[in-house]
Structure 1
Amino acid sequence: MALPRTIVIAGAGIGGLTAALALAACGFRIVVLEKAERLEDVGAGLQLSPNASRVLVELGLTERLKLRAVVPDAVSIMSARAGGELLRMPLGEPAAHRAGVPYWVVHRADLQSALAGAIADHPDIDLKLGATFEDVAPHARGLTVVHRSGTIRRSDLASALIGADGIWSTVRQHLFPEVQPRFSGLIAWRGTLDATQLPKEYTARRVQLWMGSNAHLVAYPIAGGRQLNVVAVLPGTWNRPGWSTPGDPLEVMEAFAAPRWPPTARMMLAAVDSWRKWALFAVPDGCPWSEGQVALLGDAVHAMLPFAAQGAGMAIEDAAVLARHLSIEAAEDAAGVAAALKQYGLIRQARVRKVQRTARQQGRIYHLGGPFALARDLAIRALGPDRMLARQDWIYGWRP
């Protein structure tokens, strides 16, 4: 008995929406379940290096993103110990020419809005807001996926279920309850500011990475260059529900106090009016990717530390690989779907684990102090911009 051509995706984040578009392009009907009543304007900036932007370009999102995204001219690697810039890696047009697609920085809400707009225009995608995934069970013709909207319980018959519902994934909890996110001991303080609040030289179209003893700072333009996204990462403890809470600006300024941090970095931090603290959790390496006709995607299976700027990028890559393997032909029967989902996970595991390890290693390098920081700074200067950029080729050069 042939399976339905419907695939249910739990979660309307970046990975879930990208997967919906990629799978719909393969001929599937897609139902996206999102527990929020509306797509909220939450989160912070994202860096979309060419491995991720390439997927979005191929899905036809260039025009929707051009006015929202910023193409930075460079990445500036800065040292609090040295008091300024160590190295500037060129991006912009040279990098776009090298990769064939742009390097974008964008607010998460703007990317989500662009994806949602494309989904609204697609006749084979049904985005259900206020719909919470509850259960999945085998059916003679695939899977029965149960979800709730308010007091009303509904079900969809599907050939597959994709759990793209984030680090606290209900789908993962259903499949692999033993896999639990772990707190890293680090907290990201996130905020934005209007570019007009700082002198022009502070708000150039570049990504700034400031490295310091036991802390680091990232800043880059978003919203077409009208705002600056600022992320300050510090060690801390977390003993409250959830993973995000308002933060006290005085606490940030104390952590980045002079003379350990130069005036350039402190000026950006002082210009942020409102901070939110995000506890950095990660899903342990080795989480299974699928079981039967159910698979995980993005943060649900590999939430990682953000120090390689690849959290969103890996979810977008997942979506492209998933669509490549879960073709209409593969979805003719339950065994075909299960085999395709297993192959998707096998292909993604090695690359994602390498990115996870890279992110952890880079976080340790960013936070070096004393003579180790001096050695790091000298090594970065010795490498030079071209060799530093070439070290990212294995990430940026990925193609679906």
Structure 2
Amino acid sequence: MGPSKTMTEPARSTGPVLVAGAGIGGLTAALALARVGHKVIVAERSPELAEVGAGLQLSPNACHVLEQIGALDAIHGAGFEPEAVRIRSARSGEDITRLPLGSSLRKRFGAPYLVVHRADLQRALFDTANKHPEIEFRFGHKVAGLEDEPDAPVRVRFETTSGSTNIDAFAVIGADGVWSALRGMIPGHSEARFSGRTAYRATVSSSRVPDDLLTDTGLWLGNDAHLVHYPVHGSKDFNIVALIEEDWTEKTWSGSVDRASFLQHFGRWAPEVKALLSVPDTWLKWALCGVDGSGPWTHGRLALLGDAAHGMLPFAAQGAGMAIEDAAVLASCLKPGTDSPVAALKTYEAKRKDRVVKVQQTAVSNGKIYHLSGPMAFARDTVMRLAPPARLSSRMDWIYGWKPPA
């Protein structure tokens, strides 16, 4: 199932761009590629659209792309625009600071900051793509091999419920997630690795939580753990994510949760936050795994995108954002009819890699800061309390201020 030995550029490539994966990155890529004139085939291993996961955050850099591909209005209707990030001490329950979002970010960057359920985002992207005459979907297609020979289209072999089938393409985009099959076809690729962090996620009706939690994104900082929450589904529901430093002993990378054991992690947290954590009747947990973005993303006419190239920790809230940015840059580099798709994909990788690796490093750094304890946590909280909120917020300007190519 490895890559072909040749790297020779074909004399002339024609045909559709094949996108493997109908997640957020793959769907955004399909829309961006169709926008510049490509016919696109999206091949997804699941038999139908897999609407899974929990909430995520879309900062202005991502929203600019979503507006460009014609999906932002649908997403905005299903999402929520918080006024601020309210940061609190998990131990005392006291406010540390409140960083402006909402109208403040719209004014500075010309696009909103939204929180949305992953399933709503995926559905909005799919519905937009499914209406596009140049985008075709093929579900139940599991990648089984790839051939990239000169003077011929790239051929990807798939396993389906009815047997093997091939798709010939101008180029292949691996948007098939952290456990990407296509990444294994790139020599020297980075392996996905467990980060030592686990995410526990739950969604409840907004009617079950205090009203003062329904206007902002909440961030609670604790020893070796932190908590994030915000409204989703147009504020009808409430998304809660607890992120904990711990070992992973399950046989799979997700699993069910023993509620009593889970709540023991928060025995010393403030009563208000313990009450919130007691609201969900069930939780699901995921091992947080990442992919080093500094590894190779391309080989011949194959390129990786999103988590397949650079799966990252959620501590900068940019996993979806970086996949969405990837899609816009990819489409700007891979023009229809180009004589050199190999060079175009290399250009895409070169344009994206430094920024993505810096965002990955920021997420790792944030995770360490969020989980400080003792005197270091006291010093962190003091600095954040004394600093003007606008100054703290401006540390993310280099991320939020990015805009896609025209």
Q: TM-score scaled by structure 1?
A: 0.95
5+ long unaligned stretches in structure 1: none
Describe how 1:59-98 pairs up with structure 2 within 5 A: 59-98=69-108
Counterpart amino acid of residue 373 in structure 2: G
Deviates more, 1:139-148 or 1:34-43: 139-148
**Change beyond 3 A, Cα 1:343–1:177:** closer
Q: Give the structure 2 partner of residue 346 of structure 1.
A: 350
Residue 47 of structure 1 is aligned with which of 22, 39, 57?
57
Residue 230 of structure 1 is aligned with which of 240, 263, 267?
240
Q: Does 1:381 align with 2:385?
A: yes
CA distance in 2, matches of 1:59, 1:206: 28
Deviates more, 1:378-387 or 1:59-68: 59-68
Counterpart amino acid of residue 174 in structure 2: G
Q: Does 1:390 align with 2:394?
A: yes
Structure 1 SS opposite 2:234: helix
Structure 1 SS opposite 2:389: helix
Q: CA deviation at 1:155?
A: 1.2
Q: Deviations over 1:106-147 (max 9, x none)?
A: 000000000000111001111111111211102423211211
Are the counterparts in 2 of residues 141 and 159 from structure 1 also a CA contact under 8 Å?
Answer: no
Describe how 1:359-374 pairs up with structure 2 within 5 A: 359-374=363-378
CA distance in 2, matches of 1:329, 1:76: 49
Describe how 1:1-400 pairs up with structure 2 within 5 A: 1-139=11-149, 140-176=151-187, 179-201=190-212, 203-257=213-267, 260-330=268-338, 332=339, 336-400=340-404
CA distance in 2, matches of 1:121, 1:277: 34
Counterpart amino acid of residue 249 in structure 1: R
CA distance in 2, matches of 1:83, 1:218: 14
Q: CA deviation at 1:253?
A: 1.2
Q: Deviations over 1:328-373 (max 9, x none)?
A: 143x3xxx10101011111111101111110001000000011111
Q: CA deviation at 1:285?
A: 4.2
Structure 2 SS opposite 1:274: coil
Counterpart amino acid of residue 242 in structure 1: T
Q: CA deviation at 1:178?
A: 5.5
Are the counterparts in 2 of residues 14 and 316 from structure 1 also a CA contact under 8 Å?
Answer: yes
Are the counterparts in 2 of residues 219 and 230 from structure 1 also a CA contact under 8 Å?
Answer: yes
CA distance in 2, matches of 1:136, 1:18: 23
CA distance in 1, matches of 2:397, 2:232: 24
Are the counterparts in 1 of residues 43 and 138 from structure 2 also a CA contact under 8 Å?
Answer: yes
CA distance in 2, matches of 1:285, 1:127: 28
Are the counterparts in 2 of residues 81 and 373 from structure 1 also a CA contact under 8 Å?
Answer: no
Are the counterparts in 2 of residues 205 and 225 from structure 1 also a CA contact under 8 Å?
Answer: no
CA distance in 2, matches of 1:362, 1:320: 26
CA distance in 2, matches of 1:41, 1:27: 28
Are the counterparts in 1 of residues 90 and 221 from structure 2 also a CA contact under 8 Å?
Answer: yes
5+ long unaligned stretches in structure 2: 1-10
Please provide the CA RMSD for this pair.
1.3
Counterpart amino acid of residue 13 in structure 1: G
Q: CA deviation at 1:101?
A: 0.8
Q: CA deviation at 1:241?
A: 3.1
CA distance in 2, matches of 1:225, 1:178: 41
How many pairs were matched up? 393
CA distance in 1, matches of 2:323, 2:350: 15
Structure 2 SS opposite 1:72: coil
Deviates more, 1:170-179 or 1:110-119: 170-179
CA distance in 1, matches of 2:80, 2:132: 26
Q: CA deviation at 1:248?
A: 1.5
Structure 1 SS opposite 2:292: coil
Q: CA deviation at 1:181?
A: 1.0
Deviates more, 1:91-100 or 1:122-131: 91-100
